Structure 1
Amino acid sequence: MEMKNPFKDRGRMLSLVYGILVALTFTIALYIRCLPKSSVFGGGFVRFGGNDPWYNMRIVENTLSHFPHRINFDAYTYFPHGQYHPFAFLFDQILAFIIWVAGLGAPSQHLAEVIGAYYPAVLGALTVIPVYIIGKEIYNRNVGILSAALLAVLPGQFLSRSLLGFTDHHVMETLLATWVIAFFVITVKSAQNQVTLDEILNREWARLRKPVLYSTLTGIMLGSYILAWKGGALYVLVMVVYALIQAVVDHMRGRDTAWLVAVTVPAFLVVSFMITPFLHPSTIDMRTLLAVLVSIIGVIGVVGISLILRSKQIERAAYPFTLIISAGLGLFVFSIIAPDTYHSMTGMFSIFLPGAGALTVAEIHPMTMDEAWTWFTTSFFIAFGGIFWAGYNVARRFRAEELLFVVWSIIMLLACRVPIINGGQNRFAAYYAINVALLTGFLLWKFIEFGALSDEREPVKERTKRRHKQEERESLGLKRYINLDLILISIIIFAVVFYPPLFTPRTGALAYAKFSGGPSDDWYYSLMWMRNNTPDVATDGFNYSTLYEDIPRGEDYPYPPNAYGIMSWWDYGHWITRIAHRIPIANPFQAGIGGPYQGNRPGACVFFITRNETRANEVMDALGGRYVISDFMMADAWNAVYNKFGAMTVWADDTGGYYGRMMTENGTYRTVLTRKYYSTMIARLHILDGRGLGDAIEPLRHYRLIHESRSLMPIEVEGQPVRFVKIFEYVKGANLIVTPGFGSNATNATVSVEIMTNQGRYFNYTQTARLSEDGKFHFTLPYSTEGPLPGETRFDTMPTGPYLLEVGGVVREVHITERDVLEGKTLELSL
């Protein structure tokens, strides 16, 4: 039997050619996402990007220690409580499985980190496949390949969240959400005008097989998406809103709406079955399942109302009003019957309206126009043309898949930015990148059609001839592309659409992708120093790798007596957990921040912004804090590097009075920092080293600098350079009581000592005391002059000699032991 030559079959040849193009697009996307290789692997450690990727790798490490089990509750964060982490499990579980298999059941840490670093890059590159399918199914393969190519090179949120080393669930969210739409588009195409109520009731599988199959695949992807991100009900909303609008369109046109049940209900049922076994506060909560079940009822209700009105031959225009009244009545009854559940579920829409404190989180604030240009360049604006053109097509032809495309795109745009009310979250710009690529790809193909191929435009065809003409049109795009018109159009397209996202200085994909972010060497090695030089909190039954048991909500984890917390700003909590193997008080889940936005509880914002050391001590005592680790950005009110100080003041609801104006010699004014700023704990610690500032700001008595990093910042205060990262220890301090000599009339006494840091920097720590009512001078001294004790902090920043006590011209040396400092012992000295 003669073998058939696939190259003589036009359809197979086209499939092969476009398959190669998709593979090439995947390769380009992967290449760009692996550009930060030297940044990730070029140092002394694998530098994962951002903050959350470090916690994902912490979960993966813990899972590999107990494979296949994972922690839901983590006692190594949010001291002294512990916390159910909010990550859904699929992203980390699949990664742990891949590493476990690659390591033959016993993978090394290096293997785990290498695979973990490449994981998001591969997932991001794979996203071009469902993008191609969506473009192909809604329009044609040319739109699909143009869209996939643009997505491969777009900078912005999608690129940053799919870079090598950014091992976070966002990239899997985007990939799975795109597959949801890809399968749903096919489902919708196969059912509109093909499935009726009678066929559903009579179970005519010949007509129902394809819609139900693809609806099931949609459900599998949607269920996986929700299991990768607990907020995945967002795409349930997309499907329900589309079904509602499609039902209104079909009803107003006198068409059967029952097919919408066939395309949505199987998907939602599959989702329900998938997520029910994993209902857990840290994975999927009951609100998500309720949202899916309510969606099933809602779609059936929308279709049912349409069927009733049609059977009664009621005016079609009554349908949307009936839906509005029914929905309003249903919500009202729901709010009366189950008010807590009602408020809980409506609270899920808070992603569109983040609160004041949450707006300080980089990924939560609404997308600005500057960000839109940086992340999408020209394609952001071209995409609007795509929305209008696709909307025009919907109004003209009412194709269900194109209506889905428009509804989906508008919802994702609103998720990034809600006009007027300043809502939305810019994190959804990673999702909207898919829509921008498709909308732009669609408009580009129209440009090509009306330009170089204008004489070969496809006329409107009957459905029975559409496939043949589609292949003919795509073949035309391959055979006749080598002409002057197309070369000119290709140059224009590259210059306008592809060049800006690729080559824009600093923000273009090729420039931006070279750096992975994550902790600097200063942070990493400071945390490793903390890990090796501070008391280990691990015990036989409690350590970094423990598979912690879940504890009742509202209860604190029973920590061993030697456990303590690390005070830092919430951004750095996951680094502290994974690198230092210590327990942060605050973390990037926005836990432990405290202040007015968290029930006026003690926390990081209260500690760092307070101007009263006693109040700061109360916070540390309440939260079991022993060390404070800060960086320059936390104190950077100058905005010389990056200002995180402002975020602290927002969380503390104390934003005014830190800046003033000073007249210069030439009569102009310049902005200066006020005493209020220098009085905050973060400034007194990181900028002033706890040493005070003249007579205006007293030195700290219970905090001592024990280590600082190497890098110098572009700020000096009183001739002292400022290092990037500093570690302080909170101590009781030695209580020195000095009795002046007989006949002394001194009313003031000073104690000072020279401190040398591990970087060879010197500064003087000085305390001044007034004569108290008991006729004595009282000091609380945080530095030991005699060195560390075994089992305690092995500090490498310490006095160069004894304290010098000066009272009325009399100078005495004072030696303070480490035990005196740690136990708060009282030393009495008579002159």
Structure 2
Amino acid sequence: MDFNQFKNKRILIIAGLVAVFTLLSLMIRLIPAGNLVAVDGVNLLGNDPWYNLRQIELLISDSLQYPWYDPMTNYPYGTNNFWGPLYPLIAAVMCIVTGAATRTDIMYVSSWLPALMGAAMVPVMYFAGERLSGYKTGLIAAFLTAIVSGQFFYRSLFGFVDHHVAEVFFSTLFCLVILFYLSYVRDHPVDLKNTESLKIPALISAGAGFAYFLGLAVMPTMLLFAFIMAIYTGIQFIYDHIKNKTSDFLLLFNVVAFLTAIVLYAALIGIRFDGFDMARYSVGHIFAYLALIAGTVVLYALSTYLSEKPSYYYVGAIFGLAIAGLLGLMVVLPDLYTIIVNGLWSFFGYKTTLSTIQEANHWSFENAWNAFNFGLIMMVLAFFVMVYQFIREHKPELIFTIVWSLVILYATTVQLRYEYYLGANIALMSAYFISWTLDYGLKDILGFAGIKPQDKILEEMPEEEKTGKKKKSEGSSAKKKKPVKKAHAAKPKAFPAGIAVVGVIFLLLFSYFSVNVDLAVSNNVGGINGDWMESLEWMGANTPETGVDYYKLYEKDSFEYPEEAYGVMSWWDYGHWITFNAKRMPNANPFQEGVAGPNGSAAFFVQTDEAGSNLVLDNLDTRFVITDVEMDTAKFWAMATWFNPELQQSPYVMNLYQHQEDGSLTPATLYRDEYFETMISKLHNFDGSLVIPSEVLYVEYVSGDMYGAPLPIISKAEYMPYDAAESAVAAFNGNNAKAGAALLSPNVIQPSTKVPALQHYRLVHESPTNVLSGQGGADLKYVKTFEYVPGAIIRGDGIIAVNLESDQGRKFTYMQESVNGEFTVPYSTGGDNYGTRVLSDYTVIDTGETFKVSEDAVMNGLYIN
């Protein structure tokens, strides 16, 4: 092979390979389109993408003006959007350019954007690797970026119309410009006294500031990268001071880059929120960047002032000033100190309720290995190699990359959301390690494959060995052969390292490909299932208009909800689905707005008092409630955790062990009485009707201590008549101090206690799927919609009943027990119950009296007799 010819064509070869990797990246990210695209639109992935689509629609219909305030969610307050405008703006422009005008077309075109941005990461990562360690590292980084798995891959799939991939793209672009700057000033030193030396570095710094602003215009989370730069700045200043080197280049960069970011932020985004909240577009960002600039100036001034002193003076002065500054803030400006601490906590902190948010969970070892597997090993090895190479080469790019990767790695262990950032670091660090290892053992690997890279060897041989000539100053022949022997002696060490890394590369590539392709072709990647989509389409077509124009921009200061407006109560996961698909206004949303507190959705669904839940809806002016089987079961723990972070779901379920025939213990989760008294259970499981169980599960249990088990162990379990079981529990607990008994249930539709009826909620729609199909004729629909009504009042005693049929053909009976000689009933017998048909008049079971109830009486709380 003619290596000189290869060098001449290398640029074209590299460009071709990067193009191929980019195309590969795009192709595997487009695989889900086959499952997601339908005639009526795209079933977007996840929850947040649906709200991004809403923003895109608004931008298209309102001349690309961004909706900083939105009344169509978090009713009756609306929300101040804390997402940036750049990502939906890019999507909106794409739609306008391609002529996408209908909702279906807008969904389709917008679904391409995450895949395109994921593919665009490939050339960015090539240049990052090239700046760090040459074109080989760049090519490997580009290829790994195309196939790296984890959250980065998932969030850049076709249909995941969310800003996460844009966060990664623009933050990586910012880091790329930093790497370019550091490599440039290493060869072209900056001297603040030499104006000529400042021109190009200042221009690059301004470019970095622009890249930073682009990331900030996507999401305030970009502040994390200012934090990374601050840490790197401190480390680099200390190193330069110890080595008696100038840090002029750092002072220039931070001042120019972050002043640029401040100017662009103030001019193009502006201060959108009061206070100093770093997670929103507040003035806090400006103060943070000014603080970074001021800190850099202080570091520079201290270094200059203490240049003649021992190095520990400088290090001590830095830490002393930092501690004194924090203590001073605590005393003099406690509010500002609190803001700083809270700002850091918002990025790196953790609280119990975050466990209910998938992307805010801790990063477990299992999740880490499933996401990146052997890439994690190579990343760790790359850290050591980079430190070793820095000791040899003193390249500031290496220190910056280490700091960048360590901060993102730590942030990911705290909250899973940062895993999509880490994908870039995994690819870059793995590429660096692979490239370094291949360079170390390349000759042996090629030799093992039967290839003789003679030109490569010639490049590394001394000139006299290439030409066969000897220099006059050479000594004996034994001395002349020493370098050659030394090179051959290194061969056995290089050989296993090179072969090992090739093996790891194949394992890594196989793992990434298999994981990504399996995910991309999976039928489970869709966002909304058919039952939710059907229910929301029904709601949009059959419930009253809210009086709020879905496509109109509103200003918070001048907006007031019209009289006919109302809210829809559901769990926060479904808020954006309700806004986009039903064009109705949810009380809670995936921003976790409307979830906590006395008027939050958690309080509504989990508390056991109907009057308390009614008060929530009255305070929020809510008319409809949507439940689903997930809220009833899998997501119940999340609602209970938001309702009471300390007790969580312990008051509602009991975890025990049960003996198996082979003597082993297996865990069992059984429902307590309190679960069946919650609003979510009364609504979804029993349609708000009175339920008096005929048989219940009577359970006796003993402490697990004697068996070394952390939970109680079931000693007896049998079904008994309800009245007898209640008496048995009272008798057993009265006579046993070290054991207990309780009425429990293994099934959400088999209550362990009497369940009182709800007086103000009527079923108006349910979805078609029976989640209990094949289980003895039981029928529990996936999604149910209820209307909150005043209810008509009937005087009487005992139990009243009415026969009903849902719009899916399911027949059921609503029963209610009188309270203080009255019934408050939610269904009309001759009026509009939406999709639910009334099959009979109300009948008082004990007396046989019947009553007809008008819709007017139900909607206005009128007495019937």
Q: TM-score range by the shorter chain?
A: 0.7 to 0.9
Matched, 1:200 2:195: no
Residue 293 of structure 1 deviates from its aligned partner by 1.0
Q: What does residue 47 of structure 1 align with?
A: 43
What is the identity, as a one-letter code, of the residue corresponding to 2:568?
I
Matched, 1:713 2:768: no
Q: What does residue 721 of structure 2 align with?
A: none
Residue 512 of structure 1 deviates from its aligned partner by 6.3
Q: Contact 2:437–2:501 at 8 Å: present in 1 too?
A: no
What is the identity, as a one-letter code, of the residue corresponding to 2:80?
Y
Q: 1:802 aligns with which of 823, 841, 860?
A: 841
Report Cα offsets for 1:68-111 as digits up to 9, x if no partner.
212111111111111211111111122222222332xx833233
**What is the alpha-carbon distance in structure 1 between the residues aligned to residue 348 and residue 154 of structure 2?**
22
Residue 565 of structure 1 deviates from its aligned partner by 0.5
**What is the alpha-carbon distance in structure 2 between the residues aligned to residue 327 and residue 58 of structure 1?**
45
Q: What does residue 561 of structure 2 align with?
A: 559
**What is the alpha-carbon distance in structure 1 between the residues aligned to residue 44 and residue 233 of structure 2?**
41
Q: What does residue 720 of structure 2 align with?
A: none
Q: Contact 1:159–1:509 at 8 Å: present in 2 too?
A: no
Q: 1:644 aligns with which of 635, 642, 647?
A: 635
**What is the alpha-carbon distance in structure 2 between the residues aligned to residue 665 and residue 327 of structure 1?**
61
Q: Contact 2:149–2:423 at 8 Å: present in 1 too?
A: no
**What is the alpha-carbon distance in structure 2 between the residues aligned to residue 384 and residue 94 of structure 1?**
36
Matched, 1:226 2:216: yes
Q: Contact 2:594–2:601 at 8 Å: present in 1 too?
A: yes
TM-score (norm: length of structure 2): 0.82
Q: 2:593 aligns with which of 591, 594, 607?
A: 591
Matched, 1:380 2:353: no
**What is the alpha-carbon distance in structure 2 between the residues aligned to residue 31 and residue 66 of structure 1?**
33
Matched, 1:819 2:856: yes
Q: What does residue 690 of structure 1 align with?
A: 688
SS where residue 701 of structure 1 aligns? coil
Q: What does residue 480 of structure 2 align with?
A: none
Q: Contact 2:440–2:498 at 8 Å: present in 1 too?
A: no
Q: What does residue 174 of structure 1 align with?
A: 168
Unaligned runs of 5+ in 1: 1-5, 418-423, 462-483, 596-600, 637-642, 739-747, 789-793
What is the identity, as a one-letter code, of the residue corresponding to 2:316?
F
Report % sequence identity.
29
Matched, 1:545 2:545: no
Q: Contact 1:220–1:271 at 8 Å: present in 2 too?
A: yes
Residue 445 of structure 1 deviates from its aligned partner by 2.0
**What is the alpha-carbon distance in structure 2 between the residues aligned to residue 490 and residue 396 of structure 1?**
22
**What is the alpha-carbon distance in structure 1 between the residues aligned to residue 783 and residue 182 of structure 2?**
55
What is the identity, as a one-letter code, of the residue corresponding to 1:522?
D
Q: What does residue 758 of structure 1 align with?
A: 807
Residue 718 of structure 1 deviates from its aligned partner by 9.0
User: Which has the larger displacement, 388-397 or 269-278?
Assistant: 388-397
TM-score (norm: length of structure 1): 0.85
For residues 104-503 of structure 1, the aligned pairs below 5 Å read 107-192=101-186, 194-196=188-190, 199-203=191-195, 205=196, 207-277=197-267, 278-281=269-272, 284-310=281-307, 313-350=308-345, 351-417=347-413, 424-454=414-444, 492-503=503-514
Residue 266 of structure 1 deviates from its aligned partner by 1.4
Q: 1:517 aligns with which of 494, 513, 526?
A: 526
What is the identity, as a one-letter code, of the residue corresponding to 2:643?
A
Q: Contact 1:164–1:516 at 8 Å: present in 2 too?
A: no
Change in CA separation of 1:525 and 1:300 when aligned onto 2, cut-off 3 Å: same
Residue 678 of structure 1 deviates from its aligned partner by 1.1
Q: Contact 1:59–1:71 at 8 Å: present in 2 too?
A: yes
Q: What does residue 614 of structure 1 align with?
A: 611
Q: What does residue 276 of structure 2 align with?
A: none
Residue 306 of structure 1 deviates from its aligned partner by 0.7
Residue 337 of structure 1 deviates from its aligned partner by 4.4
**What is the alpha-carbon distance in structure 1 between the residues aligned to residue 576 and residue 498 of structure 2?**
51
What is the identity, as a one-letter code, of the residue corresponding to 1:649?
A
SS where residue 826 of structure 1 aligns? coil
For residues 769-780 of structure 1, the aligned pairs below 5 Å read 769=818, 772=820, 777-780=821-824
Residue 494 of structure 1 deviates from its aligned partner by 4.7
Q: What does residue 749 of structure 1 align with?
A: 798
Report Cα offsets for 1:185-242 as digits up to 9, x if no partner.
010111136324xx32231x2x333322221211110111011111211111111211
**What is the alpha-carbon distance in structure 2 between the residues aligned to residue 663 and residue 219 of structure 1?**
62
Matched, 1:672 2:670: yes
Report Cα offsets for 1:677-712 as digits up to 9, x if no partner.
111111111122212331611111111111111222
**What is the alpha-carbon distance in structure 2 between the residues aligned to residue 490 and residue 390 of structure 1?**
17
Q: Contact 1:135–1:147 at 8 Å: present in 2 too?
A: yes
**What is the alpha-carbon distance in structure 2 between the residues aligned to residue 394 and residue 649 of structure 1?**
51
What is the identity, as a one-letter code, of the residue corresponding to 2:651?
G
**What is the alpha-carbon distance in structure 2 between the residues aligned to residue 233 and residue 301 of structure 1?**
21
User: Which has the larger displacement, 285-294 or 391-400?
Assistant: 391-400
What is the identity, as a one-letter code, of the residue corresponding to 2:569?
M
Report Cα offsets for 1:49-72 as digits up to 9, x if no partner.
111111111111112111121211
What is the identity, as a one-letter code, of the residue corresponding to 2:549?
N
What is the identity, as a one-letter code, of the residue corresponding to 2:244?
G
**What is the alpha-carbon distance in structure 2 between the residues aligned to residue 330 and residue 804 of structure 1?**
76
Report Cα offsets for 1:154-210 as digits up to 9, x if no partner.
2211011111111111110100011111110010111136324xx32231x2x3333
What is the identity, as a one-letter code, of the residue corresponding to 1:707?
H
What is the identity, as a one-letter code, of the residue corresponding to 2:164?
H
Residue 513 of structure 1 deviates from its aligned partner by 6.4
Unaligned runs of 5+ in 2: 274-279, 448-455, 463-494, 694-753
SS where residue 101 of structure 2 aligns? coil
Q: Contact 2:41–2:108 at 8 Å: present in 1 too?
A: no
What is the identity, as a one-letter code, of the residue corresponding to 1:98?
M
SS where residue 141 of structure 2 aligns? helix
Report Cα offsets for 1:583-639 as digits up to 9, x if no partner.
1101111111123xxxxx311000000011111111111111111001111111xxx
Residue 491 of structure 1 deviates from its aligned partner by 6.5
What is the identity, as a one-letter code, of the residue corresponding to 1:163?
L
**What is the alpha-carbon distance in structure 1 between the residues aligned to residue 59 and residue 513 of structure 2?**
38
**What is the alpha-carbon distance in structure 2 between the residues aligned to residue 751 and residue 719 of structure 1?**
25
Residue 307 of structure 1 deviates from its aligned partner by 1.2
Report Cα offsets for 1:389-445 as digits up to 9, x if no partner.
11222233321111111111111101111xxxxxx2111111111111111112222
What is the identity, as a one-letter code, of the residue corresponding to 1:689?
D
**What is the alpha-carbon distance in structure 2 between the residues aligned to residue 716 and residue 733 of structure 1?**
35
Matched, 1:782 2:840: no
Q: Contact 1:39–1:515 at 8 Å: present in 2 too?
A: no
Q: 1:737 aligns with which of 775, 795, 811?
A: 795
**What is the alpha-carbon distance in structure 1 between the residues aligned to residue 800 and residue 61 of structure 2?**
52
Q: What does residue 568 of structure 1 align with?
A: 570
Change in CA separation of 1:391 and 1:617 when aligned onto 2, cut-off 3 Å: same
Q: What does residue 475 of structure 1 align with?
A: none
